[in-house]
Structure 1
Amino acid sequence: MNYESATLDNDGRLTLPAAEPKSRRLWWIVGTLLVLAALAGYFLIKRSGAAPTVAQKGEALSSVTVAVPGSKLVARVISATGTLAARREMPVGVAGEGGMVTRVLVEPGQWVGAGQVLATVDRSVQQQTAASLTAQINVARADLTLAQAELARAQQLVGRGFISQADVQRRIATRDSAIARLKVSQATAAEQNARNGRLDIRAPAAGLILTRGVEPGQIVSSGSGVLFRMAKGGEMEMRAALSEADLTGLGVGARAAVTPVGSTQSYDGQVWQVSPVIDPQTRQGIARIALSYNQALRPGGFASANITSGGAQSPQLPESAVLSDDRGNFVYIVGAGNKVERRNVKVGSVSDAGVAIASGLAGTERVVLSAGAFLNPGQKINPVVAKPAASAASKG
């Protein structure tokens, strides 16, 4: 403080210079700022210390959607793979003596009727033989006519005594021989005509030509093997390979949806035969699924099938509810105190409707539908029961 600049007033009091009040105000301002800073720090420390508690409470009360699946009749769906084939494949070969093929009249993929000619074989020699036999028939018929006439005259003359009864008997024998020779000639000609008819390669039944293995000019015989392959009536099938367990309970008449490889289109079919034996090497049997004709179903192709066979009462859950790890499949259920519990389950058939639970659930549990990957056993949650799809749809 500058006392040299101080003065005394009329009453003898000391008067300080004007700068002294400014310094005091400065100290008051600094002190006030320090107090405010201390208060601000206190509140900040208090808030930061309370934040973990709030976060912990929010985590412990996370809302999770759950549902009580109950028990419903779930159809048993068997997935299988196999090959496509003609349901009744008919190999067509040479029925007669064969020869050189002159014409082939059909192509693969063509529909034919029963008895339709598929190919013809040269018959020039056989036609000459047939003509010769026809001529023999005419000769035998002429001999028979002559024998009949001679017998008639002899029968007229025997009464007048011009010829004996023995002559009549000889003419009767001659007439009978002529009749027999005519019949033999006719039978021989008919046999030759039948042989000539068998030179034509014909379809044994109506159906679809699958393959063609003969060309004009080719020499064929009964040992030439299969010339054509046909699908009787165009009917197709899938030969599905199934395990022993899948074959159990599978019966004739089960419905199936068949999807050829490379296609998204499914075709309805029906099991018409179940293999009575199991292959000892693969431990599989064959279920034959009948299919109507469609150009997309090509014999020899590969296909998959979903076969629906019977059903059983079991809980059904969406795929998001079923989790898996190295210990197997499991779901999370809400136990006592709304705490998460792990429940191991065995999965049954899987379909568009969801996953059937073969064992592990009674259907009365509250099952976590989603977000199971973010939960841990023992964690406390706030379960929110999902509304049934039907009621939700009606409200909407």
Structure 2
Amino acid sequence: MRPPSRSLVLAALALLLLAALGGWLSQRQEAPSVRAQNAIPVRVVSVARQDVPRYTSAIGSVLSLHSVEVRPQVEGVLTRVLVKEGQWVKQGDLLATLDDRAIRASLDQARAQLGQSQAQLQVAGVDLKRYRLLSSDDGVSKQTLDQQQALVNQLQATVKGNQAAIANAEVQLSYTQVRSPVTGRVGIRNVDPGNLVRTSDTRSLFSVTQIDPIAVEFALPQQMLPTLQSLLNAPTPALVQAYLDADGESRLLGEGHLALIDNQVSANTGTVRVKAEFDNKDGHLWPGQLVTVKLRTAVEQSALVVPPPVVQRGIDGHFVYRLDGDKVTSVPVKVLYQDSTLNIVAGVEPGDRLVLDGQSRLKPGAQVEVTPEAPAPAEMADRRSQP
């Protein structure tokens, strides 16, 4: 048998070298793809530095600063009602009138009696002057002079009594014109014109309630009393916001300021009542309405903020995953303040890229692949405020 030629042996060796080289290259190309498949996709957000207001929340009740039940102050027939239900009125506006004929007659009678008493006083005064002249020459007795002086004094008192009767009748007459004691909104009418009304009636004619400005009353824990006192004594009134919670969303009804802290703490609940005042020109706040109140207690200057999903809770406390290159590191943090939109944290630096989504698959040192970066907390707040 003829041995293989040298050229065939060399060709076989070349083929073996080419096959080995191809296998080595294919392994190098597959390695990155395998590593890429092992990377965990995450979203990250950068730590931002901004001023953050701190709030405390409570459930409050809207109250009118002035609400008056309009009742008759004299007895009489209700002749006219000059306002409609739900009408806005100003202080001093005429609301209704009562039959005033009997009171006018009493007023005329009191004026007539005053005229009579004044005429009698004038005659008695002239006689008193005459008696004084005669008494100097013993033309009249001292007893007669004293009696005339007493008569003048009696008539003077009668005149004052008549004047008081006139003033009383005028006051009674003014009560027949029912005027608004405050600026506000007329409620539902309880009595129609033509009915006899008395001061002892249990039902009022209607109510007038002040709507602008208006108040909101709420309760806070007694531990906040020092904070409330400092806010009340501050040169700038503390901001208070009122929200209406409906369909899972909160709608801002108005912004006001802290106005009053009650003079005692409730022993049963351990809370103190607080009142805030609001401008209510648009009438978004209504007496008796339940609202969510947010009181701004402080403003954190240059705070480090992150979205709430960034902060995780572990056995040893709170921590975050920080992106270092293409791997993550577990960093312990302290949560200084939190609400529904952001957390104030300590333990990281501004600009650090933290994992926002995908933490459940992570562990320290894990390799990650970053998907499009989430907006910063301030940007998210701006987007929520846009329609």
State the Cα distance separating 1:298 from its structure 2 match: 1.7
Aligned AA (1:372): G
Aligned to 2:384: none
Aligned to 1:207: 183
State the Cα distance separating 1:274 from its structure 2 match: 3.3
Aligned to 2:202: 224
Aligned to 2:54: 76
Q: Which of these residues, 292, 300, 303, is aligned with residue 304 of structure 1?
A: 292
Aligned to 1:5: none
Contact 2:308 2:338 in 1 (8 A): no
1:119 aligns with 2:96: yes
Deviations 1:191-211 (A, max 9, x none): 23223333443333x421353
Worse-superposed segment, 273-282 or 126-135: 273-282
Contact 1:94 1:222 in 2 (8 A): no
User: Relative to structure 1, is the Cα distance of residues 228 and 234 closer, same or farther in structure 2, using a 3 angstrom cutoff?
Assistant: farther
Deviations 1:118-137 (A, max 9, x none): 33333333333222222221
Q: Which runs of 5 or more structure 1 residues have no equivalent in the other structure?
A: 1-37, 390-396
Within a 5 Å distance, the mapping from 1:1-396 to structure 2 comes to 53-59=31-37, 69=47, 73-86=51-64, 88-94=65-71, 96-152=73-129, 154=131, 166-204=143-181, 206-215=182-191, 216=193, 217-222=195-200, 224=202, 226-232=204-210, 234-244=212-222, 249-250=227-228, 251-252=231-232, 253-261=237-245, 264-275=251-262, 277-279=264-266, 284-293=271-280, 294-312=282-300, 314-319=303-308, 321-322=310-311, 331-334=320-323, 338-341=327-330, 343=332, 346=335, 348-350=337-339, 355-357=342-344, 361-363=347-349, 366-373=352-359, 375-378=361-364, 379-381=366-368
Aligned to 1:11: none
State the Cα distance separating 1:237 from its structure 2 match: 1.9
Q: Which one has a bigger Cα radius of gyration?
A: 1
User: Relative to structure 1, is the Cα distance of residues 300 and 329 closer, same or farther in structure 2, using a 3 angstrom cutoff?
Assistant: farther
Matched residue of 1:249: which SS?
helix
State the Cα distance separating 1:236 from its structure 2 match: 0.7
State the Cα distance separating 1:291 from its structure 2 match: 0.8
Q: Matches of 1:254 and 1:364 in 2, distance apart?
A: 29
TM-score normalised by the chain length of structure 1: 0.67
User: Relative to structure 1, is the Cα distance of residues 227 and 322 closer, same or farther in structure 2, using a 3 angstrom cutoff?
Assistant: farther
Q: Matches of 2:33 and 2:206 in 1, distance apart?
A: 79
State the Cα distance separating 1:82 from its structure 2 match: 2.2
Deviations 1:182-240 (A, max 9, x none): 22222223223223333443333x42135345423252314536544444583112224
Q: Which runs of 5 or more structure 2 residues have no equivalent in the other structure?
A: 1-15, 377-387
RMSD (CA atoms): 4.6
Contact 1:115 1:202 in 2 (8 A): yes
User: Relative to structure 1, is the Cα distance of residues 226 and 322 closer, same or farther in structure 2, using a 3 angstrom cutoff?
Assistant: farther
Deviations 1:235-291 (A, max 9, x none): 112224444566662422211333345684542211112345555565554432211
Aligned AA (1:239): E
Q: Matches of 1:230 and 1:201 in 2, distance apart?
A: 12
User: Relative to structure 1, is the Cα distance of residues 370 and 97 closer, same or farther in structure 2, using a 3 angstrom cutoff?
Assistant: same
Aligned AA (2:185): I
**Identical residues among aligned pairs (%):** 20
User: Relative to structure 1, is the Cα distance of residues 104 and 43 closer, same or farther in structure 2, using a 3 angstrom cutoff?
Assistant: farther
Q: How many residues are paired up?
A: 348
Matched residue of 2:287: which SS?
coil
User: Relative to structure 1, is the Cα distance of residues 242 and 160 closer, same or farther in structure 2, using a 3 angstrom cutoff?
Assistant: closer
TM-score normalised by the chain length of structure 2: 0.69
Q: Matches of 1:125 and 1:297 in 2, distance apart?
A: 44
Aligned AA (2:62): L
